Structure 1
Amino acid sequence: MEFRLGTLENTDVQQLLNEHLLDMEKTSPPESRHALNLDGLKACDVTFWSLWNDGRVLGFGALKELSESHGEIKSMRTQSNARGQGLGAKILEFLIAQAKLRHYTTLSLETGSMDFFKPAHRLYERFGFEVCAPFGSYTEDPNSQFYTLKL
């Protein structure tokens, strides 16, 4: 398995991103959707990686720089047929390592608060993320759960 930087032009990556955005559309009201679309992932303050094995995209994740010391995890996703194989943990571990290489002291994320997102909550908590107040430009939202990790 390998991580590849900036593969947003790949149609398989775009298809997985579209699946991610459709899931967010099904599970979260419009005002509570914070997943980045293709253009958002191309922003200058966002770095995108995808995870590949044998020529097949298995998942992706991104880091958004909020400040010199604070990063945000964006758009983590694994292929639905590859879930339960530890890929989410592999992606999260990679993103944490990248944040450390950038010398961030804090890594945060926003995810949904609904049952659909409970597996993600368990993953983040397993890696030491703690529930926190909204950060950056986020505001209180009953449909959002915020997490932070001190690095």
Structure 2
Amino acid sequence: MNVERLQKMAGAVRTGGKGSMRRKKKAVHKTTTTDDKRLQSTLKRIGVNAIPAIEEVNIFKDDVVIQFVNPKVQASINANTWVVSGAPQTKKLQDILPGIINQLGPDNLDNLRKLAEQFQKQGPAAGEDATNTQEEDDDDVPDLVPGETFEAAAEEGQAAK
């Protein structure tokens, strides 16, 4: 370091000119812990509770998996809020799929196969929702005409049967 730069830095801590007092208080930089404390207080207000003994959390998004190993998991069922905190790892679905299938076990693997077969059979057309492709049942609630009451529509339904 050169002398000019050192003198410039030393002059920055003085409140006045040469011979004056130096600052008494050091400038404190805010850390991220204040943000974490505010987040924790907000979560506490919502009413989240810690869920112990969760070893792994996988979040599937397209063909990418965000994996948390030994995360801290908190949940509030009433507020429909789940908090997963920890160090995430991003992996491709093909790399992690064999490990996940081993964790499912034989019963859940059969269920997964059945779901895959149903999806292949019923596969929705592009832009359609899977629930719209199913036929509507006759047991559904009939659409009401303005001015009609539920009782009148129910009597008409009974008479039609």
Fold equivalence (TM over 0.5): no
What TM-score, normalized to structure 2?
A: 0.21
Higher helix share: 2
The structure with the larger Rg is 2
Q: More relative contact order in 1 or in 2 (CA 8 Å, sep 6+)?
A: 1
